Amino acid sequence: MLYAFIDESYTADRYYVAAVVVKEEHLGTVSRALTEARAYAKTFGVDEAQIEFHAHALMTGRSGWEPVRGKTRAALAIYRDALTRMARLPATLIIRGVDIPRLHARYRYPQRPHELTLRHLLERIDDLARSRGDVVTVIADEIQDQADHIARAAWYQQNGTGGSRSSRLAQIQMPIVFGSSAESPGIQLADLAVYLYRRLDAHTETHPRTAREVERLWKLLQPICRHASRWDP
């Protein structure tokens, strides 16, 4: 059995979803990696019992990350440490994105960006599971319209996803499970990855040094990255 942990990141113009996929037997390894990352964060004065690894909160010093607020080097060191541990895991990273203005310009009645990117991501997850001769349980961060996503994913298995990569997602166990990121190390790792890719792909850095740091952080994840791209309709 495989497990795919999903989270999203977006701007007004771009939407991204990421999956961190691991075998069931490696779930404990994922949990230990995040526990070790918390212990490292503690050396910067962070209360490891009060934090989640949400990249935006970490980089802005919120939701338990206040000890590193305004301390960019410290925040980046914690981020780098977590990504380094993530890159050593027996895991696979998949990211899909979409350009929202182009989507709306091309289609009169476009799918919602989250719905579209999740569909594309599920197709890739299904392909990965098939290539490994396995099935996969999908666990995503809680969202307001999760019931719609559950119903639509089940519909895909009956009718296909449509588009150029149409699939009935035969390797995916339904229903999709939505859960709290606080209780899921896998979702937290997906958050760290998708935020970084969104920053790399959708954000114009004003300082060359920051741009170089973002690129260096992204390179850390290359050992586990199977696919990362944005669709421009």
pLDDT in tens, 128-137: 999 999 999 9
68 pLDDT higher than 90: yes
pLDDT of residue 209: 79
Is 0.75 topped by the overall pTM?
A: yes
pLDDT, tens digit, for every residue of 120-163?
A: 999 999 999 999 999 999 999 998 888 898 999 999 999 999 98
**What would the mean pLDDT of 161-185 be, rounded to a whole number?**
94
CA 17-66-84 angle, 5° bins = 50
Domain residue ranges in the chain:
2-25+92-231
Tell me what percent of the residues of the chain surpass a pLDDT of 90. 88
For the domain spanning 2-25+92-231, the CATH number is 3.30.420
Check if the beta carbon of residue 152 is closer than 8 Å to that of residue 16. no
What is the 3-class SS of the chain, one letter each residue? Answer: CEEEEEEEEECCCEEEEEEEEEEHHHHHHHHHHHHHHHHHHHCCCCCCCCCCCCHHHHHHCCCCCHHHCCCHHHHHHHHHHHHHHHHCCCEEEEEEEEEHHHHHHHCCCCCCHHHHHHHHHHHHHHHHHHHCCCCEEEEEECCCCHHHHHHHHHHHHHHCCCCCCCCCCCCEEEEEEEECHHHCHHHHHHHHHHHHHHHHHHCCCCCHHHHHHHHHHHHHCCCCEEEEEEECC
**188-217 average pLDDT score:** 89
